[in-house]
Structure 1
Amino acid sequence: MKYLCLVYSEEKKLEGWDDGECQAYCQSLQGSGHLVAAEALQPVHTATTVRIRNGKLSVTDGPFAETKEQLAGFYLIEARDLNEAIQLAAKIPPARVGSIEVRPVRTLTP
């Protein structure tokens, strides 16, 4: 089953973060067959929020919500169950300064 591990942290806590540590963990996940995809996101000030209300497009600079922690990236993993997904998420390096939200992926079929 696929799980999306959303990495949340205060941006200032990730400033100067060694990407090599995250890249090494990605390689570890890839080697074990658990990694589907992983990416870091640009800073939150680069975000754009899009909404459609009453058929009209609204575009706003910035994230959808003002929060203490922002979405910093994601890991899409393959795990046999939620317990294994949690164990893998616990090893994501930014978990030490932020949080990892683990959610099962719901397949959309055409």
Structure 2
Amino acid sequence: MKYLLLICQETAEGFPGATPEELDAEPWVEEMTRRGVRLDGNRTRSSEDATTVRVRNGSRLVTDGPYAETKEQMAGFDIIECADLDEAIAVAAEHPVAKFGMVEVRPFWTD
């Protein structure tokens, strides 16, 4: 089953108190790719660079910024394929950001 990992930081400033070495995801990326778990992923620009699009009554509404103002902000994503949710949670727990921010695990929709 495929899962989306939303890599989130708790402040716009990133991960206060974390060193660049502690946040280095490259070893995690290499390991998950070697295991055949990680399919894709990347960092994202800050929420200040986001654009939200809605269509209401046939009119397109475009708003600068994220969908909602929240304390947590998405910093990146990974798409993984795991046998089940337990494995996906274990993979997410190994991501270095899990120690300083948050990794949301969301299954892809399947019919």
| 1:50-90 deviation per Cα after TM superposition (whole angstroms, max 9, x unaligned) | 11011100111100100001111111001100000000000
Match of 1:41 among 39, 44, 50: 44
Match of 1:87 among 87, 90, 99: 90
Aligned match of 1:70? 73
Runs (4 or more) in structure 1 with deviation over 4 Å come to none
Q: 1:57 & 1:100 partners in 2: Cα distance? A: 32
Q: 1:23 to 1:50 in 2, by over 3 A?
A: same
1:11 Cα deviation from its structure 2 partner: 2.7
Structure 2 SS opposite 1:13: coil
Aligned match of 2:14? 13
Q: 1:17 & 1:60 partners in 2: Cα distance? A: 34
Contact 2:39–2:80, Cα closer than 8 Å, also in 1: yes
The residue type equivalent to 1:30 in the other structure is: T
Could you tell me the percent identity over the aligned residues? Answer: 42
Structure 1 SS opposite 2:104: strand
The residue type equivalent to 2:20 in the other structure is: D
Unpaired runs of at least 5, structure 1: none
1:101 Cα deviation from its structure 2 partner: 0.9
Match of 1:52 among 47, 50, 55: 55
Count of aligned positions: 108
Aligned match of 2:28? 25
